[in-house]
Amino acid sequence: MRKLILNAAKRLLKKEPKHQLSITKIAKEAKVSRQSVYRYFNSKEELIEILSKEKIIDNKEDLDIKTQIINSAYQTFAQLGYNQATLDNIADKAGMTKGAIYSHFNSKEDLFISIFNHHIEDQVSFVLEEIKTALSSANQEKQLNDVIQKQLDFIETNSEWSKLLLEFFAHSKNPEIKTQLTQSYRHFKQELTEIFYQLQESGYISGDIYPGMIATVIPALLDGLIMHWIVYSDQTKSISSASQLSKILWNGISPK
């Protein structure tokens, strides 16, 4: 499976630059789920780094310094936690000086935001396409269940990321950073709202509900479930959780 994923990434890199690569594209090319990719690689950056070390990527495609920093930062945050990790730790992990990091990022918060935006970008492309496909299919409730299950699988496979994000929100006091996070979430909500508008106009979901509210409630339910798992360390019922959650959602938005 690992080799299959690497070969898929290699094929994509022959057609497009590495900055356009995403986990969603790699999974689609390899004909596997995104969760399968994440079982072998923590991030797109890690996968590209492995390709580079194995000389699958030509020298012209070698990792740039910024990508190395982002990849090393993610590994350091996952190992030490956001609050305990320092730029010195990240520099050591990346094999460079702290000054090299400052030439690309203003602070530890700025670096974390870059990692966050990478995750958001990948999630947006996946979630929007999956939800649109599910709710315009013949068996909408089952397809919606499948989408939610994929999201829960992703959360379980990347549980460290959810904990890091929660820790970051708790410790970050910088209003500018929080503004950036808000903007990223707002973009995601706008894209999701547009999808629900289209589905509503086509009669696939109820016309009685404001699409923006649907776009708010679905991520909120998933976020609440993540919080529950983190607080209670209970990730043992993800399959039944997906089934119950899809029923709750579908009963609320299905066309009558």
Rounded Cα distance, 36 and 32, in Å: 6
CB 122 within 8 A of CB 136: no
Q: Is 51 in the same domain as 167?
A: no
pLDDT recorded at residue 255: 73
Residue that is last in its domain, among 71, 102, 133: 102
Full domain range(s) for residue 54? 2-102
Half-sphere exposure of 16 (CA within 13 A, CB side): 10
pLDDT recorded at residue 19: 65
Count structural domains, the chain: 2
Q: Is 53 in the same domain as 67?
A: yes
Rounded Cα distance, 85 and 227, in Å: 22
CB 230 within 8 A of CB 162: yes
Q: Does the predicted TM-score (pTM) go above 0.85?
A: no
CB 161 within 8 A of CB 119: yes
Which CATH number is 126's domain given? 1.10.357.10
Q: Is 210 in the same domain as 137?
A: yes
Of the chain, the end-to-end C-alpha distance in Å amounts to 44
Per-residue pLDDT tens digits for 216-251:
888 888 777 777 777 776 555 554 567 777 777 777
DSSP 236: T
Q: Is 71 in the same domain as 195?
A: no
Rounded Cα distance, 32 and 27, in Å: 5
CB 124 within 8 A of CB 225: no
pLDDT recorded at residue 59: 41
Rounded Cα distance, 158 and 67, in Å: 20
Residue that is last in its domain, among 102, 119, 144: 102
Closest CA to 205 of 142, 151, 245, 251: 251
Rounded Cα distance, 47 and 249, in Å: 35
Per-residue pLDDT tens digits for 50-81:
777 665 444 434 447 888 888 889 889 988 98
Q: Is 85 in the same domain as 121?
A: no
Q: Is 64 in the same domain as 116?
A: no
Q: Is 96 in the same domain as 112?
A: no
Closest CA to 159 of 227, 111, 87, 82: 227
Residue that is last in its domain, among 102, 137, 170: 102
- In this predicted structure, the answer to whether residue 196 has a pLDDT above a threshold of 80 is yes
Q: Is 123 in the same domain as 239?
A: yes
Per-residue pLDDT tens digits for 84-128:
999 999 999 988 889 889 988 888 888 888 888 777 776 666 676
pLDDT recorded at residue 86: 94
Alpha helix (H) residue ranges in the chain = 2-13, 23-30, 34-40, 44-53, 65-80, 87-94, 98-102, 108-135, 140-157, 159-171, 175-201, 211-232, 238-253
- In this predicted structure, the answer to whether residue 42 has a pLDDT above a threshold of 60 is yes
Q: Is 81 in the same domain as 115?
A: no
